[in-house]
Structure 1
Amino acid sequence: MEQSIQDQQQKHMPDDQQKTRITHPSRVITLANLLSILRAFLALPIVYSLARDRIVLAVLLVLFAVVTDWLDGYFARRAHEVTDLGKFLDPVADSIAIAAVVLFLSLDETRNFPFWFFIFYMIRQLTIALSGVYMLNHSHLVLGSNIIGKWTVGITALAILLYIVRMENFGLYLILVSTVLASVSWIQYLLRNFNPKIQS
């Protein structure tokens, strides 16, 4: 209820006040946002571990990234710090981490990771990001991930784990499931962005 009132108040704010609310330090430096940023940077040690064939470390880092994805949402709701920046950072962090690891796996000829999934994933994320920027500029709304999108991230992470431990057959099955879910959430997100009735 409190969040709904705040959202209504934001709609009636002048443009400069709305931007201040998004960029004010108290709305930026939150534990949830820091966890999202950490998750994005975890892509580097994960890829490094894979390049050095340190499978156990890579698996642990992926699992840690998954845990941070759950924790940032938990802490944001628990501390009543669900911010526009947080809604933006969460999927961006997921995109960076997943894209980096998927690109490495798809270029590793020994793992048979489907490169088409990387292309599909990047096109999806790019269109979602561009539509999100459009909505922020035109209606000052930042829409968070939908539930199917969250399931997509989880299944994709599990598929990545299976490819890391070289269980490619099971991993491919999950990649196909993830592609279907990603397509559905993609359509839903675009509809929410450009349909005022769905936004409300």
Structure 2
Amino acid sequence: MAYNLPTYLTLLRIALIPVLVALFYLPWHLAHVACAVVFALAAVTDWLDGYLARRMSLTTAFGAFLDPVADKLMVAITLVLIVQADPSPWVAIASAVIIGREITIASLREWMAEIGQRKRVEVSWMGKWKTTAQMVAIVILLLGMDIWRETLKTTGQALLLVSAVLTLWSMINYLRAALPVLSTRTE
């Protein structure tokens, strides 16, 4: 297994998850701001590891596997923390849509790869926009727990709903791309 700078950045993102969780529960008036900083750092490493892997020709099978796992873990765990702290129905629904889509598409990609059809469900620009909207919404929601509460909370919730819509849209696009394979009969 080859470890390189992009892979170390991905591993750093995974290592930041328990740090984020610990900070979230600290009895400190800026704990959620610290979480937002950690999450933003993780989001930047998400972009940076992919950029470096492509730019420096450091892509590996392990990195290609680990990168989306790290993203989904960080997003899902942080959304669960946010819903637990602010059990708003809209945030809970948007979070359930986002987490449910990630599970669905990860499973679809695994199955499509198993039957040699992985190219049909490669990451699209819609997926990149969805991820960006999620990351920004989560940072804003975390910040809004400690500072500029009403303004950031409302903005973060609205952006999370937008990202949930983008999430559904991208899922529909992936399912539509896979439909010809999904609708074939097996014997």
TM-score for the superposition, normalised by structure 2: 0.79
Match status 1:132 vs 2:106: no
Q: 2:140 aligns with which of 148, 162, 166?
A: 162
Distance 2:10 2:88 in 1: 28
Identity of paired residues, percent?
A: 29
The Cα shift of 1:179 comes to 1.1
Match status 1:184 vs 2:169: yes
Query: What does the per-residue CA deviation read over 1:136-194, in whole Å, with 9 as the maximum and x for residues that have no partner?
Result: 21117365422111221111111112211222110111012101111121122233445
- For these two proteins, the number of residue pairs brought into alignment is 170
Paired residue type of 2:15: F
Say if 1:124 and 1:161 are closer, same or farther in 2 by CA, change over 3 A.
same
The Cα shift of 1:40 comes to 2.7
Say if 1:118 and 1:110 are closer, same or farther in 2 by CA, change over 3 A.
closer
The answer on whether the counterparts of 1:159 and 1:175 sit within 8 Å (CA) in structure 2 is: yes
The answer on whether the counterparts of 1:94 and 1:153 sit within 8 Å (CA) in structure 2 is: no
Distance 1:118 1:108 in 2: 13
Distance 1:191 1:32 in 2: 32
Paired residue type of 2:163: S
The answer on whether the counterparts of 1:43 and 1:98 sit within 8 Å (CA) in structure 2 is: no
Q: How does 1:1-200 map to 2 (within 5 A)?
A: 25-26=1-2, 29-52=3-26, 53=28, 54-109=31-86, 114-139=91-116, 141=118, 144-166=122-144, 167-193=152-178, 195=180
The Cα shift of 1:117 comes to 2.0
TM-score for the superposition, normalised by structure 1: 0.74
The answer on whether the counterparts of 2:36 and 2:139 sit within 8 Å (CA) in structure 1 is: yes
Distance 2:158 2:66 in 1: 29
Question: What residue ranges of structure 1 are gaps of 5+ in the alignment?
Answer: 1-24
Say if 1:174 and 1:109 are closer, same or farther in 2 by CA, change over 3 A.
closer
Question: What residue ranges of structure 2 are gaps of 5+ in the alignment?
Answer: 145-151, 182-187
Distance 2:85 2:7 in 1: 32
Distance 2:88 2:17 in 1: 18
Q: Which has the higher contact order (CA 8 A, sep 6+)?
A: 2
The answer on whether the counterparts of 1:105 and 1:113 sit within 8 Å (CA) in structure 2 is: no
Distance 1:182 1:76 in 2: 25
